[in-house]
Structure 1
């Protein structure tokens, strides 16, 4: 595979992604010549938006400084984790990166939909007169995203150590948060927050790695790792 990162032009003889390059590498997904694109790598933008929103919510979930209500994250979830990440996913399509486009767009939609649950004017939470019923509904919602994350994990297994670690930690976070909604356990919520913080720092690392790769003279190189 030959890739020119600055120009976004890639020529590939197969449909396998270059795991070391991460989300931002164009991939040929059909027979014939690879799609040519001059779109810059949107990976760092999507990763930083995902990481920052996940970090803030997770810090609230572990009740940092006594914070017990995570509603402040709503704005961040709509515009950073949601809109910005969704845009990153849209720009992955012309680059031919199926995984990046699907993952960024999906998690962008997740953050926007999750934030909507807690906007009073949406009327979603107010429609549930029983708090336990609302908690169970949110739990099912989180289980659905746990399944999606596990499907994404299957796509990166044995491809990239960084992506495997990211999606593994995120899967555990979703599982803990869903279990916490079903059980009402504050301890399990904190466990989900801890794994969310781990997820955020892995995403930050990956975002910095891809940002440095886009520079002609980077100050350092952060490998994403490839399974042997």
Structure 2
């Protein structure tokens, strides 16, 4: 690979990563809640595969190339999760296997939550809510509890909204709740 070719700034690829994660979580969460008639979590498979899987994985590689191992790990790992989930939708697996899958990936989200300490509400909040969503989904699969699965969907949708806001804030230079507005030297309160 030619090292003189720019992979894009870390900010621009991270913003794309937050946007891809946000949209994927919103699609998955809205489907899992059943809030829209005739739309289920499985209907988000294409978004999960291409936006959540492929896009996040590529963003992760670009983040690694830019020297940001933490974001590279987060986006490549989450890309692998979403690609696996999206391509596996419709496969015949036991509830226990589905629950184990979600709980194992919840461990990745827990690691990302711990690793993002000090990044503020947007950084740690997205990963913390993703962890909770996957944990609830995994327990719901083991217990066969549809209500718990819907609760996990709502938490996932909230994580998606938070990730989407983070990407939008970076692009629009809105407050990021770290004491500074994205791209400006002002506080979040003005």
Scaled by the length of structure 1, the TM-score of the pair is 0.70
Match of 2:32 in 1: 61
- Structure-to-structure mapping, 1:100-111, within 5 angstroms: 100-111=71-82
Structure 2 distance, partners of 1:87, 1:204, is 18
Q: Please say if residues 209 and 224 of structure 1, whose CA atoms lie closer than 8 Å, have aligned partners that are also in contact.
A: no
Structure 2 distance, partners of 1:38, 1:108, is 18
Match of 1:160 in 2: 120
Structure 2 distance, partners of 1:175, 1:38, is 34
Structure 2 distance, partners of 1:199, 1:65, is 18
Match of 2:184 in 1: none
Match of 2:183 in 1: none
**1:58 deviation in Å?**
0.7
Say which SS state the counterpart of residue 66 (structure 1) adopts.
Answer: coil
Structure 2 distance, partners of 1:38, 1:140, is 36
Q: Please say if residues 81 and 112 of structure 1, whose CA atoms lie closer than 8 Å, have aligned partners that are also in contact.
A: yes
Q: Please say if residues 53 and 76 of structure 1, whose CA atoms lie closer than 8 Å, have aligned partners that are also in contact.
A: yes
For structure 2, list consecutive stretches of 5 or more residues without a partner in the other structure.
Answer: 1-5, 180-190
- Structure-to-structure mapping, 1:14-25, within 5 angstroms: none
Q: Please say if residues 166 and 199 of structure 1, whose CA atoms lie closer than 8 Å, have aligned partners that are also in contact.
A: yes
- Structure-to-structure mapping, 1:1-228, within 5 angstroms: 39-40=8-9, 41-67=12-38, 69-119=40-90, 125-126=91-92, 128=93, 134-212=94-172, 220-225=173-178
For structure 1, list consecutive stretches of 5 or more residues without a partner in the other structure.
Answer: 1-36, 120-124, 129-133, 213-219
**1:38 deviation in Å?**
6.5
**1:69 deviation in Å?**
3.5
TM-aligned CA distance change 1:42 to 1:187, over 3 Å = same
Deviations 1:151-185 (A, max 9, x none): 11111123423212111111110111001100111
Scaled by the length of structure 2, the TM-score of the pair is 0.84
**1:44 deviation in Å?**
1.6
**1:72 deviation in Å?**
2.0
The root-mean-square deviation of aligned C-alpha atoms, in Å, is 1.7
TM-aligned CA distance change 1:172 to 1:161, over 3 Å = same
